């Protein structure tokens, strides 16, 4: 069965399509939320779950070219650190940028995103059989 009809929101039409722009906005907002959360809690586990969940949501929403969601989500971490410094935001621990933390976060978001992609494709396969 061919699933590439024009009404399917996961077909690779254009990055500028309204649906992709909404998904991009969701990814950026989720990244900022996770970045804010990371600055205000001391439990790393909660941040990792938030990163996995954010990736999972975007992987489910738009599995096409899913590599972009982890990149957009993880951008929120250093952006929130910069905002914290610029605004003298009260944080749980001193806000500091560490590339190693960003790379580990990227790994977790990739896992969450591609788990979402696999789930989306599995649901579609089950539905069509």
- Is 74 part of a structural domain of the chain? yes
Convert the pLDDT of each residue in 100-116 to its tens digit: 999 999 999 999 999 99
pLDDT at 2: 42
- Is 48 part of a structural domain of the chain? yes
Compute the half-sphere exposure of residue 78: CA atoms within 13 Å on the CB side of its CA: 12
Angstrom distance (rounded) from CA 96 to CA 74: 15
Inform me whether the pLDDT recorded for 5 exceeds 70. no
Q: How confident is the model at residue 12 (pLDDT cuts 50, 70, 90)?
A: low
Range of the domain at 41: 18-128
Convert the pLDDT of each residue in 52-110 to its tens digit: 999 999 999 999 999 999 999 999 999 999 999 999 999 999 999 999 999 999 999 99
- Is 11 part of a structural domain of the chain? no
- Is 78 part of a structural domain of the chain? yes
- 0.95 exceeded by the pTM? no
Angstrom distance (rounded) from CA 129 to CA 125: 6
Q: Rounded to whole angstroms, what are the CA distances from 115 to 4, 56, 96? A: 21, 6, 30
pLDDT at 14: 65
Sign of CA dihedral 103, 18, 13, 58: positive
pLDDT at 129: 76
**DSSP label at 93?**
S
SS3 (DSSP) at 112: helix
Task: Look at the chain and report how many structural domains it folds into.
Answer: 1
CA 113 to chain centre: 7
- Is 7 part of a structural domain of the chain? no
């Amino acid at each position: 069965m061919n699933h590439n009809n024009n009404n399917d929101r996961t077909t690779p039409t254009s990055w500028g399509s309204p649906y992709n722009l909404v998904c991009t906005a969701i990814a950026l907002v989720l990244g900022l939320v996770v970045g804010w959360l990371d600055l205000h809690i001391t439990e790393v586990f909660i941040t990792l779950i938030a990163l996995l969940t954010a990736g999972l949501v975007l992987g489910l929403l738009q599995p096409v070219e899913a590599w972009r969601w982890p990149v957009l989500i993880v951008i929120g971490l250093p952006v929130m650190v910069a905002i914290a410094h610029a605004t003298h935001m009260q944080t749980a621990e001193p806000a500091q940028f560490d590339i190693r933390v960003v790379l580990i976060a990227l790994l977790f978001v990739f896992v969450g995103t591609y788990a979402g992609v696999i789930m989306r494709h599995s649901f579609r396969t089950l539905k069509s059989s």
